[in-house]
Amino acid sequence: MTSGLFGETAAVGSFAPWDPRTYQQVHGTPEITPNVLPSAVQVINDDYARSGLWSTGFPNAEMPPLVSTFSFSRDEGNCNPKFMRTTLYVVPKTGGILKETQLPLAVSISPFAELNIYEKEPPVFDFGPEGPTRCKRCRAYMCPFMEIGERSFRCGFCHTITQVKTADFTDFKNRPDLRLGAFDMVATNEYCKNGRAPKEPAFLIMIDVSNNSFSNGMLPLLCHNLEKILRNLPREAGQLESADFQEPFVPMVDGLLLPYSEALPGLRAALAEIPKIFSQSRTTETILQPVVQAGLDALKCADRAGKLIVFSTVLPTYDAPGKLKAKNQRSLLGTDKEKGAFVPQEDSYTKLGEQCVKSGVTVDLLLFPNGFIDVATIGQLSAVTGGSIFKFQNFSAQKDGIRMLYELQRHVSKKIAFDCIARVRTSTGIRPITFTGSFYMENSTDLEFATIDENKAFLTEIEHDDTLKDEAALIQTAVLYTSMTGQRRLRILNMCLPVTSDYHQVYRLADPEALTAFMLKQAVQLNRDKGSAEMKESLSSRCAQILATYREKCSEGAPLGQLILPESLKLMPLYVNSIFKNDAISGGSEMTVDDKVWQMELIRGMRTEDVMPFIYPRVMPISDFQINEKEEMKELPKLVRASADFLDNTKAYLIDNGVVLFVWIGAACPQTWVQDVFGVSATNQIDTESGLIPEKDNAHSRALRRVIQLLPRGIRQRKTFVVVEKSNLEPWMKKLLLVEDKSGAANMSYVDYLVYIHRKIRNLIS
Ligand SMILES: [Zn+2]
């Protein structure tokens, strides 16, 4: 069967790059090994050549480096791709081209994305009482793609001419909104709720003080460290409140909210008292909805947007609004009936979430369950409000405490915008059709977010409603938001893409990573709505159609027996097949309903930067590395492919997807390494239970810990597992992370999937 892949002519010894021309010249035996398939690692390594300073381009946006390549952007009029990244760096002239290629035109938007140390935050400008300059017809904001006239400008989006009356029009050409792809403007009162400037946002922390939070050690640990953690609130922060919800039914009164410095003595005293007061607590039942309601009321009463950070250990079964029942639907996972398990028990949590959005309040859930806690229902509080869910199943302060504290510290110090309304505008002829992310919509154009933080993205798919007549198409995202200092601002993000009817161009400028993020989100949605069989068929067919059209339009002469892949999309089959293997998609009864829903929620707002390692994990050999005292690590170990075929059992590896981190130790790993890193003489003596890597003062241990430190920030504080070859955890690790291999009956290996896609392509063409 495999010979069908390359037809009679082929079998390729060295494969990169996947170029049909070199490919046709190669002859040999028709045997396929993973070595001849397009390699994600090779592509990632090749792209390192683009690391360093990178210019965003003008007038047209340049295709950005891969997310794995460390680069820093210079804004030339198009925004940093961390803010907006599109599946195509060209816009087809007609919708017919998109339909024929099946390539989506979708933009992943992360308006407050985390930048690296070499990148500057978009500057803030104040245009005074005049406020922002906008097109009188389509309301697009002034940007580098407007045509400036004497006392007017012509809109790049809709071509309408708008007169400008401002006195300093002579200085117009130096204005930042005419130069930059990303910038902030101070909003005038007309952009504020009720026409009034907002107050500073506030943080409210609500802690479960039931017996459960004592027995797992969460509450004492948190009380002991919270003051230190709160010092990391965003630097612009002015406000902080804390409350314990001993009497959560009692509405709070205004005046509770204090600036951090004033709150500190009371906070310190409360944190010292809480463990004492509640240490004898026998209560194991808790409430949740009234707690969130009380928090929302408190913030509303204080007339502030903000964040509720809620710590909860158990399903809210106590007799109060939002009381939930335990249910065990684990057996439904991975079956046709699965979606039944994802339906909220009741919609009151969703409705409360919507109320929160209206007041600019986000709910973060930090969950510490030992059993079912119904993420599908209570998670709506975060899903609707743009919050985050952190889940510490079977939490133990000893094993997970440090990770939890780091996670919390990192979370509260994130860049964050409150009370946001976002709108995406495009050139006449195209428009956003669908949106994916954590937001609330009352009409078909405005997205309301209680908050957007630096790790969150939303996605929009754009479609044609006419043939494009211009040479370029524009996309502008405007986010009206309240900053941490309580200033109402607008963030404007701009992108200009060339318009083409050339299929070669369309394929050449497809961004494989934005496309993967789009497909992952679509897969989660389809899997939830239609079930896994239909989802897989839909994505595979799309993948095959994309590649079949490439053949038809761009490489007509090639024999049918050959699989021809466009250079930009040569990894698409690998990534699609990896998406199918993701736990959020294919997780069965080996995982819990809560875990699966949690992962689905995580993906909903995931940035492309986090999607890629999540779909194709980083695997790197580590046991050869040593760092002597005072020596710095120069570069990370070279990646190897995510397949057991590439793991050498005389070595140890780090395997990472941004959420979990495995240290895999081959059975024949050198004894000196095992001794140096774990302080034991054989692999079978390694403590694999604790998930801890001991701190030892030697070159091997130092190297391992340093590499872990140097890993790009994951979407979560990674949970670490130590796995020795052939131990109990290994099959799980392989299924989860070695995505090139076959895993279970339902999932194909990379090779098999490529054969399968090739067959589909042949069927489409013939
Ligand atoms: Zn306009």
Query: pLDDT tens-digit profile of 522-565?
Result: 999 999 999 889 999 999 999 999 999 999 999 877 787 888 89
pLDDT-derived band at 33, boundaries 50, 70, 90: low
In the reported structure, the alpha carbon of residue 94 is separated from the centroid of ligand 1 by a whole-number distance in angstroms of 21
Give, as one character, the DSSP assignment of residue 254: T
Ion ligand 1: residue ranges with CB closer than 5 A: 135, 137-138, 140, 155, 157-158, 160
In the reported structure, the alpha carbon of residue 141 is separated from the centroid of ligand 1 by a whole-number distance in angstroms of 8
The residue-averaged pLDDT of 660-678 equals 96
The residue-averaged pLDDT of 294-304 equals 91
Domain that holds residue 729: 617-737
Does residue 540 fall inside a structural domain?
no
Q: Which residues are CB-neighbours of 500 under 8 A, at least 6 positions away?
A: 90, 91, 92, 93, 506
| Alpha helices by DSSP H, 155-288 | 211-215, 218-230, 260-278
pLDDT-derived band at 239, boundaries 50, 70, 90: very low
Q: Which residues are CB-neighbours of 533 under 8 A, at least 6 positions away?
A: 336
Residue 242 has pLDDT above 60, yes or no: no
In the reported structure, the alpha carbon of residue 470 is separated from the centroid of ligand 1 by a whole-number distance in angstroms of 14
pLDDT, position 327:
87
Angstrom distance (rounded) from CA 110 to CA 493: 10
pLDDT-derived band at 10, boundaries 50, 70, 90: very low
What is the tally of structural domains in the chain? Answer: 2
In the reported structure, the alpha carbon of residue 352 is separated from the centroid of ligand 1 by a whole-number distance in angstroms of 37
pLDDT, position 166:
61
CA 495 to chain centre: 21
In the reported structure, the alpha carbon of residue 443 is separated from the centroid of ligand 1 by a whole-number distance in angstroms of 20
In the reported structure, the alpha carbon of residue 462 is separated from the centroid of ligand 1 by a whole-number distance in angstroms of 18
In the reported structure, the alpha carbon of residue 425 is separated from the centroid of ligand 1 by a whole-number distance in angstroms of 9
In the reported structure, the alpha carbon of residue 70 is separated from the centroid of ligand 1 by a whole-number distance in angstroms of 36
Q: Nearest-CA neighbor of 622 among 667, 573, 579, 664?
A: 664
In the reported structure, the alpha carbon of residue 464 is separated from the centroid of ligand 1 by a whole-number distance in angstroms of 17
In the reported structure, the alpha carbon of residue 473 is separated from the centroid of ligand 1 by a whole-number distance in angstroms of 13
Q: What is the CATH number of the domain that holds 636?
A: 3.40.20.10
| Complete DSSP assignment for 626-650 | ---TTPPP-SPPPPB-SSGGG--TT
Mean of per-residue pLDDT scores for the chain:
88
Does residue 517 fall inside a structural domain?
no
In the reported structure, the alpha carbon of residue 156 is separated from the centroid of ligand 1 by a whole-number distance in angstroms of 7
Query: Three-state SS across 442-486?
Result: CCCCCEEEEEEECCCCEEEEEEECCCCCCCEEEEEEEEEEECCCC
Order of strands, edge to edge, in the sheet holding 361-367? 258-259, 239-242, 202-207, 306-312, 361-367, 389-391
Q: Nearest-CA neighbor of 129 among 188, 177, 198?
A: 188
- Give bridge partners of residue 161 from the DSSP assignment: 154
The residue-averaged pLDDT of 374-388 equals 95
In the reported structure, the alpha carbon of residue 377 is separated from the centroid of ligand 1 by a whole-number distance in angstroms of 42
Which of 249-263, 319-333, 357-371, 700-714 shows the lowest mean pLDDT across its residues? Answer: 249-263
In the reported structure, the alpha carbon of residue 342 is separated from the centroid of ligand 1 by a whole-number distance in angstroms of 42
Pairing of strands 361-367, 306-312: parallel
In the reported structure, the alpha carbon of residue 197 is separated from the centroid of ligand 1 by a whole-number distance in angstroms of 28
In the reported structure, the alpha carbon of residue 135 is separated from the centroid of ligand 1 by a whole-number distance in angstroms of 5
Residue 243 has pLDDT above 70, yes or no: no
Task: Provide the 3-class DSSP secondary structure of residue 499.
Answer: strand
In the reported structure, the alpha carbon of residue 679 is separated from the centroid of ligand 1 by a whole-number distance in angstroms of 68
CA 269 to chain centre: 38
Instruction: Mark 657-694 as b/e (b = at least 16 C-beta within 10 Å).
Output: bbbbbbbbbbeebeeebbbbbbeeeebeebebeebebe
| Burial class (CB within 10 angstroms; exposed 0-12, middle 13-18, buried 19+) of 56 | buried
pLDDT, position 248:
29
In the reported structure, the alpha carbon of residue 103 is separated from the centroid of ligand 1 by a whole-number distance in angstroms of 27
In the reported structure, the alpha carbon of residue 150 is separated from the centroid of ligand 1 by a whole-number distance in angstroms of 18
pLDDT, position 194:
82
pLDDT: which is higher, 467 or 231 = 467
Q: What is the CATH number of the domain that holds 407?
A: 3.40.50.410
Which of 231-235, 579-583, 594-598 shows the lowest mean pLDDT across its residues? Answer: 231-235
Which H or E element spans position 496?
strand 488-500
In the reported structure, the alpha carbon of residue 134 is separated from the centroid of ligand 1 by a whole-number distance in angstroms of 8
pLDDT: which is higher, 10 or 45 = 45
CA 77 to chain centre: 25
The residue-averaged pLDDT of 151-172 equals 81
Domain boundary among 380, 413, 446: 413
Does residue 106 fall inside a structural domain?
no
Residue 675 has pLDDT above 90, yes or no: yes
Reading the block at residue 288, the tokens are 């949740």
Does residue 65 fall inside a structural domain?
no
In the reported structure, the alpha carbon of residue 426 is separated from the centroid of ligand 1 by a whole-number distance in angstroms of 9
Q: Where are the beta strands (DSSP E) in 178-323?
A: 182-186, 202-207, 239-242, 258-259, 306-312
Query: What single-letter amino acid sits at 250?
Result: V
The residue-averaged pLDDT of 647-672 equals 96
Q: How many Cβ atoms from other residues are within 10 Å of residue 126's Cβ?
A: 13
The angle at the Cα of 198, spanning 195 to 203, to the nearest 5 degrees, equals: 150
The residue-averaged pLDDT of 160-177 equals 74
Which H or E element spans position 361?
strand 361-367
Q: Nearest-CA neighbor of 373 among 339, 328, 340, 425?
A: 328
In the reported structure, the alpha carbon of residue 157 is separated from the centroid of ligand 1 by a whole-number distance in angstroms of 5
pLDDT-derived band at 702, boundaries 50, 70, 90: very high
Reading the block at residue 246, the tokens are 């001993």
Q: How many Cβ atoms from other residues are within 10 Å of residue 28's Cβ?
A: 12
pLDDT-derived band at 405, boundaries 50, 70, 90: very high
In the reported structure, the alpha carbon of residue 159 is separated from the centroid of ligand 1 by a whole-number distance in angstroms of 6
726: left (phi over 0), alpha (psi -120 to 50) or beta: left
In the reported structure, the alpha carbon of residue 477 is separated from the centroid of ligand 1 by a whole-number distance in angstroms of 14
In the reported structure, the alpha carbon of residue 142 is separated from the centroid of ligand 1 by a whole-number distance in angstroms of 9
Does residue 189 fall inside a structural domain?
no
pLDDT-derived band at 689, boundaries 50, 70, 90: confident
Which of 93-107, 625-639, 716-730 shows the lowest mean pLDDT across its residues? Answer: 625-639
In the reported structure, the alpha carbon of residue 33 is separated from the centroid of ligand 1 by a whole-number distance in angstroms of 55
pLDDT: which is higher, 499 or 259 = 499
Does residue 749 fall inside a structural domain?
no
Angstrom distance (rounded) from CA 560 to CA 572: 20
**Torsion sign (Cα): 209, 213, 214, 219:** negative
Which of 59-63, 162-166, 495-499 shows the lowest mean pLDDT across its residues? Answer: 162-166
pLDDT, position 627:
92
In the reported structure, the alpha carbon of residue 362 is separated from the centroid of ligand 1 by a whole-number distance in angstroms of 33
Which of 17-31, 35-49, 350-364, 365-379 shows the lowest mean pLDDT across its residues? Answer: 17-31
The residue-averaged pLDDT of 441-454 equals 93
pLDDT, position 371:
93
pLDDT, position 650:
97
Residue with tokens 């063409």: 765
In the reported structure, the alpha carbon of residue 460 is separated from the centroid of ligand 1 by a whole-number distance in angstroms of 20
Residue 598 has pLDDT above 80, yes or no: yes
Angstrom distance (rounded) from CA 557 to CA 24: 11
Cα of first residue to Cα of last residue in the chain, in angstroms, is 19
In the reported structure, the alpha carbon of residue 432 is separated from the centroid of ligand 1 by a whole-number distance in angstroms of 16
Q: What percent of the chain has pLDDT over 70?
A: 92
In the reported structure, the alpha carbon of residue 254 is separated from the centroid of ligand 1 by a whole-number distance in angstroms of 44
Does residue 643 fall inside a structural domain?
yes
pLDDT, position 692:
84
pLDDT-derived band at 409, boundaries 50, 70, 90: very high
The residue-averaged pLDDT of 384-405 equals 94
The residue-averaged pLDDT of 499-514 equals 97
In the reported structure, the alpha carbon of residue 465 is separated from the centroid of ligand 1 by a whole-number distance in angstroms of 17
In the reported structure, the alpha carbon of residue 492 is separated from the centroid of ligand 1 by a whole-number distance in angstroms of 15
pLDDT-derived band at 347, boundaries 50, 70, 90: very high
Does residue 421 fall inside a structural domain?
no
In the reported structure, the alpha carbon of residue 139 is separated from the centroid of ligand 1 by a whole-number distance in angstroms of 6
Distances (CA, A) of 558 to 542, 547, 563: 21, 13, 9
Give, as one character, the DSSP assignment of residue 651: S
pLDDT, position 9:
28
Reading the block at residue 125, the tokens are 């400008």
The residue-averaged pLDDT of 484-490 equals 92
Q: Which residues are CB-neighbours of 100 under 8 A, at least 6 positions away?
A: 549, 553
In the reported structure, the alpha carbon of residue 85 is separated from the centroid of ligand 1 by a whole-number distance in angstroms of 23
In the reported structure, the alpha carbon of residue 140 is separated from the centroid of ligand 1 by a whole-number distance in angstroms of 6
Among 28-42, 258-272, 379-393, the range of highest mean pLDDT: 379-393
Give, as one character, the DSSP assignment of residue 141: B
The answer to whether residues 521 and 459 touch, using CB atoms and an 8 Å cutoff, is: yes
pLDDT: which is higher, 497 or 167 = 497
Query: What single-letter amino acid sits at 464?
Result: H
Cα atoms found within 13 Å of the Cα of residue 14, Cβ hemisphere only? 4
560-594: pLDDT as tens digits: 788 889 999 999 999 999 999 999 998 888 899 99
Domain boundary among 413, 432, 461: 413
The answer to whether residues 54 and 65 touch, using CB atoms and an 8 Å cutoff, is: yes
| Burial class (CB within 10 angstroms; exposed 0-12, middle 13-18, buried 19+) of 275 | middle
In the reported structure, the alpha carbon of residue 764 is separated from the centroid of ligand 1 by a whole-number distance in angstroms of 42
Distances (CA, A) of 700 to 206, 628, 660: 43, 9, 22
Angstrom distance (rounded) from CA 745 to CA 79: 44
In the reported structure, the alpha carbon of residue 472 is separated from the centroid of ligand 1 by a whole-number distance in angstroms of 15
In the reported structure, the alpha carbon of residue 358 is separated from the centroid of ligand 1 by a whole-number distance in angstroms of 29
In the reported structure, the alpha carbon of residue 762 is separated from the centroid of ligand 1 by a whole-number distance in angstroms of 45
Cα atoms found within 13 Å of the Cα of residue 598, Cβ hemisphere only? 22
The residue-averaged pLDDT of 321-337 equals 89
Angstrom distance (rounded) from CA 555 to CA 560: 11
Angstrom distance (rounded) from CA 279 to CA 215: 9
In the reported structure, the alpha carbon of residue 324 is separated from the centroid of ligand 1 by a whole-number distance in angstroms of 50
The answer to whether residues 601 and 377 touch, using CB atoms and an 8 Å cutoff, is: no
pLDDT, position 254:
41
Residue 237 has pLDDT above 80, yes or no: no
738-764: pLDDT as tens digits: 999 998 888 899 999 999 999 999 999
Residue 5 has pLDDT above 90, yes or no: no
In the reported structure, the alpha carbon of residue 107 is separated from the centroid of ligand 1 by a whole-number distance in angstroms of 20
In the reported structure, the alpha carbon of residue 294 is separated from the centroid of ligand 1 by a whole-number distance in angstroms of 44
Residue 27 has pLDDT above 60, yes or no: no
The residue-averaged pLDDT of 663-672 equals 96
CA 236 to chain centre: 24
122-133: pLDDT as tens digits: 999 988 888 889
190-200: pLDDT as tens digits: 888 888 889 88
pLDDT, position 445:
92
In the reported structure, the alpha carbon of residue 176 is separated from the centroid of ligand 1 by a whole-number distance in angstroms of 19
Residue 674 has pLDDT above 60, yes or no: yes
